Chain A
Amino acid sequence: MEQWSAGLSHLLSNLGLPEVIAIIITFALGAFILANVGPVLALVLIWITRKVISRMQDRIGPNRVGPFGLLQTVADAVKLLSKEDIRPATADFIAYFLAPILAVFGVILSLAVMAVAPGLIPVDLNIGVLYLVALGSIGIMSALMAGWSSNNKYALLAGFRVVAQLLSYEIPMVLAMFAPVLLVGSMRMGAISEAQGLEISGLNLGLGWFIFLMPGAALIYFISALAEGEQTPFDLLEAESELIAGFHIEYSGMKFAMFFLAQFLNSFFLGAIFVMLFLGGWQGPFAGNIPGLGFLYFLIKAFGVYVVTQWVKGTFPRVRVDQMMSFAWKILVPLILALILWQMIVLKLPVGTTLQYLLLLVGNIGVIAIVVNTLGRYFQREQVRTKRAFEPKSLIGTMQPAGD
């Protein structure tokens, strides 16, 4: 089953331990390491976010603590650790304490099916994709619990917005994940990554990645992942000007840090799932031959996708709530359903595989055209509106300084 655990459990059972205990020890060790990957990863992610956003805004970003400011996040974590743990007197305590724990819980569990290298995956569950979908719901629940239990009106409003937004975007996201599953015929993350290897004259250049075959599904997944990861342009949950901070307004110190950690990890893992489903996972030139290279490819791709999300965060304006909801239900859901219908029909057509794939590509390009067109129109309108807002409206005139 899992290659990584076989060696150690064999070694332990050779030492005289019963097999069950040997396996439990091995799994506990693996799980401990895996669980600790989360916080370490978050330190790097927060640093990347700060650096990218500050470059966008023509600043330098953290550069004092450690080399390139790498230890800035560690310093922040220590600061948060020493902060007072304020508990609002009127909060619903059980839900209030459980919410930040659940937020991290769901995110760390999704590490279990990350196919990071050829043959290296913590557990290659045969329902891998469904498992990830199920874990996504835990995050929604923790956000609602936090919003409700804080007994704060802003937090409650934000909590309800979370439910509305995350539920709406979960549908297009899950249906977009369905497209590669339908093509591969397997829900194992390892199998989906493997299916994307296309060798042209012995060289795996990455042309078999599903993003080239179904760019429409990939685009819809990416947009929904932005909304699910609570990133701009869909960061209405913590719209500072409207809701102060969002559902974690009453949280301080380490409990707040847990929400922060969960959010960063969540948006990174959504990007990593995007890499596994559409960007070929660990596939790349010579990935199968040189050990470690596949892992490197995976990391490069996953961090690349993360930097792109931060790029989007730095450039796009925020959308309105009603626009966000109607974009999900009236554009993304019908389009992805139609796309899946098209894919189902095309895959059963009695023609060659090449023609099938060509027809699939045509359908996907149509979907992309509609989505990009809608988004383009929206952002153009937004630009015009912003420009108008800054135009002088005074009755006296344009109040220009009296020149000559």
Chain B
Amino acid sequence: MLRQYGFILILSIFAFALPAVAIILGSLLGPRRPDPIKTATYESGVETIGDTWVQFRAQYYLIGLIFLIFDVEVIFLFPIALAYGQMSLFAVLATVTFVVILLLGLFLEWRKGALEWH
């Protein structure tokens, strides 16, 4: 068990080093002649007006919240899948109710217009 994650740890070091080395190599091998025009923000030749880091629509956060609900649900569901073969009738009914509530929740969000994308 610990060995498996040990391998993942070592692999993650290599997975991090590989792109890092490639990028460093690229910046060493390529020319570097920065000038103010070149390092300006690219916008089809027009100068950028105003700040880029603005506030964004609440829609994104709504989608993010709904995503969070379902992602947490998935974390609950996967362990259930592993034990599903040995589960008693009560546990199965509880699981089914859990999924049904989520499905109803999705329909409520739909009804309230949280899923509309403008």
Q: Which residues of A contact B (CB under 8 A)?
A: 1-2, 5, 23-24, 27-28, 30-32, 34-36, 38-39, 80-90, 97, 100-101, 103-105, 108-109, 111-112, 122-125, 127, 129-130, 133, 148, 150-154, 156, 160, 163-164, 167-168, 170-171, 174-175, 178, 181-182, 185-187, 244, 249-250, 253-255, 257-258, 261, 321-322, 325-326, 329-330, 333-334, 337-338, 340-341, 344-345, 347-348
Instruction: Give the top 4 A-B pairs by smallest Cβ distance, nearest first.
Output: A254-B26, A35-B14, A108-B15, A104-B19
How far apart are the CA atoms of A170 and B68 in the complex, in Å?
Answer: 11
Q: Give the shortest distance, in Å, between B95 (CB) and chain A (any CB).
A: 6
Residues of A near B103 (CB, < 8 A) are 334, 337-338, 341
Min Cβ gap B112→A in Å is: 13
Q: List 5 A-B contacts (CB under 8 A).
A: A35-B15, A82-B29, A109-B15, A163-B60, A253-B30
B-side binding surface: helix, strand, loop or mixed? helix
B4 near A153: Cβ-Cβ < 8 Å? no
**Residues of B bordering A, CB below 8 Å:** 3-4, 6-8, 10-20, 22-23, 25-27, 29-34, 36, 38-44, 48, 52-53, 56, 60, 63-64, 66-67, 70-71, 74-75, 77-78, 81-85, 89, 92, 95-96, 99-100, 102-103, 106-107, 110, 115-118
Q: Do A181 and B115 touch across chains, with their CB atoms under 8 A apart?
A: no
Min CB–CB distance A278 → chain B (angstroms) = 16
Q: Contact at A30–B7, with CB atoms within 8 Å?
A: yes
What residues on B are CB-neighbors of A257 within 8 Å? 22, 26
Question: What is the number of contacts between chain A and chain B, taking CB atoms within 8 Å?
Answer: 225
Closest to A130 in B: B78
Determine if B6 and A167 form an interchain contact, defined as CB atoms under 8 angstroms apart: no
In the bound complex, residues from chain B placing their C-beta under 8 Å from that of A261 are 19
Complex contact B82–A186 (CB within 8 A) = yes
Query: Is the beta-carbon distance between A109 and B29 smaller than 8 angstroms?
Result: no
Known: A32-B14, A167-B63. A89 touches B117 (CB 8 A): no
* A286 smallest CB distance to B (angstroms): 30
Contacting pair A105 B99 (CB below 8 A): no
A86 touches B81 (CB 8 A): no
